[in-house]
Structure 1
């Protein structure tokens, strides 16, 4: 069976060359063209509308739908205004609470310094002799008693003069709030006797003896006293010299007023702060609204300025704190 010879016409080669040149020409024109973005968007939008392309729906036109799952099992979303109200109240109260804390802390520091001054007046003679020192450490008053003139060397027995001074101090302590810590310290020279096996025994025994003398005052509660012995673990000076060892042999009485003052401060802040609302029940928008609803204010209170209210609250707080210091601050 013979097969016909297929032959490409001669004109098809010329036609292909022309089409290739035409394509290159349009590509060259496109490379030199400048596209106007605004005009391009406008034309593209018109073409989209003409061909029925779905347009974007703005956010404010999103259709609202409901879901049976969220309606039954999800709490109601609170109004934006309620969240704004909670945030606004928190921002308004924060600077007032900080101001109250600062004012109260300053007044309490003043009270602590007054206590220290009262103790210094009582120990004036022994301070001048270098036997005792009084320091203020934040909300604590530290009375540092050296061994010289108070204890017999190497013994826990106190002198008669020091015992009388301790009894006078107990009368001051009974009118003060807070705990009273009595700490015994020694130098690094070891001691070993029939009564004291080490410096631990000596330091603890001296602190305990001071506590026993203070408790001769029946008005001083034993629950307020804390007795500790530290031996030579907390030196104040170098044990290499005789003077340094003399400074390390001491008893420290620390009046801690922080618990009493902080308790008063917390009560004052709680008075100033609005009561916390109970958590709303799921799905109850009315419960959430009641939780953030402001307290009713009378016309007289509305006319008063906030600083006046703060001053009134501060005066009330100061009176409460001062009641704990009545023996030191008579009218």
Structure 2
């Protein structure tokens, strides 16, 4: 007589599996709100810093490459004997700034580059071009409130700053830089590094030469659509090859 074999009952599927996915989702939502709370402050500078750090964490190689190149360029420029004693060199926020006092590049009350300063300027331009001819260059001209007043044909500190920055730009172009990668701007006497006048409103003569300066800013080209902004304007907006 055949025995009837009873089939063992299969275990029922648990209906609680969805709880795992739900818990994961809630964890992610909680992390999102924690992150939002971390950014929830009313300090624009602090927010910008956090945003920059977050951007760097997602683009580590890009930022690393840019910073390394600019620091290497800065070291090469700073070590050159024609430049090291004539310029102040800083690297900040992926930008190399080379500051020449007005008395180095220009004679007093002169809009033209001094012939004795040309070798140092040409050397600087050659170093930048040899590193990468695709660098973006912004040249800022600064003045004091008084120098232009004894210069025929120049009506303001704005004009003097513009003229001097344009002269430096022309030298970059003359030595082979693409003019589309060059911008000259003027700050006039609006950004002094030292007080122009004392409490009685009299000029502080030893400070005036410090405020007559030209700043050459070197910016690493990054990304396919490169935009370099200043104030409300856009200096560069072009397609570049990576």
Offset of 1:254 from its aligned partner? 0.3
Equivalent of 1:113, from 62, 66, 71? 71
1:127 maps to 84
Q: Is the aligned partner of 1:174 residue 2:129?
A: yes
Contact 1:185–1:232 at 8 Å: present in 2 too?
A: yes
| 3-state SS in 2 of match to 1:243 | coil
CA RMSD of aligned residues (A): 3.6
- Structure number, greater radius of gyration: 1
> Which one has a larger percent helix, Structure 1 or Structure 2?
1
Q: Deviations over 1:187-211 (max 9, x none)?
A: 1226334321111111110111111
Contact 1:173–1:220 at 8 Å: present in 2 too?
A: no
Alpha-carbon distance in 2 for matches of 1:132, 1:98: 30
1:146 maps to 101
Alpha-carbon distance in 2 for matches of 1:190, 1:148: 12
Q: Is the aligned partner of 1:249 residue 2:206?
A: no
| 3-state SS in 2 of match to 1:166 | helix
The alpha-carbon distance between structure 1 residues 108 and 248, as it changes in their structure 2 partners (threshold 3 A), is same
If the length of structure 1 is used for normalisation, what is the TM-score? 0.46
Offset of 1:103 from its aligned partner? 5.3
Q: Is the aligned partner of 1:158 residue 2:113?
A: yes
Offset of 1:165 from its aligned partner? 2.2
Alpha-carbon distance in 2 for matches of 1:199, 1:182: 16
1:195 maps to 153
Runs of at least 5 residues in structure 1 that lack an aligned partner in the other structure: 1-59, 61-79, 91-96, 265-322, 325-331
The alpha-carbon distance between structure 1 residues 244 and 100, as it changes in their structure 2 partners (threshold 3 A), is same
Alpha-carbon distance in 1 for matches of 2:59, 2:168: 37
> Which one has a larger percent strand, Structure 1 or Structure 2?
2
Alpha-carbon distance in 1 for matches of 2:56, 2:205: 49
Contact 1:187–1:231 at 8 Å: present in 2 too?
A: yes
Runs of at least 5 residues in structure 2 that lack an aligned partner in the other structure: 1-14, 29-54, 198-203, 226-240
The aligned runs of 1:185-264 (5 Å cut-off) are 185-189=142-146, 191-192=148-149, 193-217=151-175, 219-240=176-197, 241-257=204-220, 260-261=221-222
Q: Report how many aligned residue pairs link the two structures.
A: 177
If the length of structure 2 is used for normalisation, what is the TM-score? 0.61
Offset of 1:215 from its aligned partner? 1.3
Q: Deviations over 1:124-172 (max 9, x none)?
A: 34432xx311111120000101122321211111111222222222222
| 3-state SS in 1 of match to 2:119 | helix
Offset of 1:238 from its aligned partner? 1.4
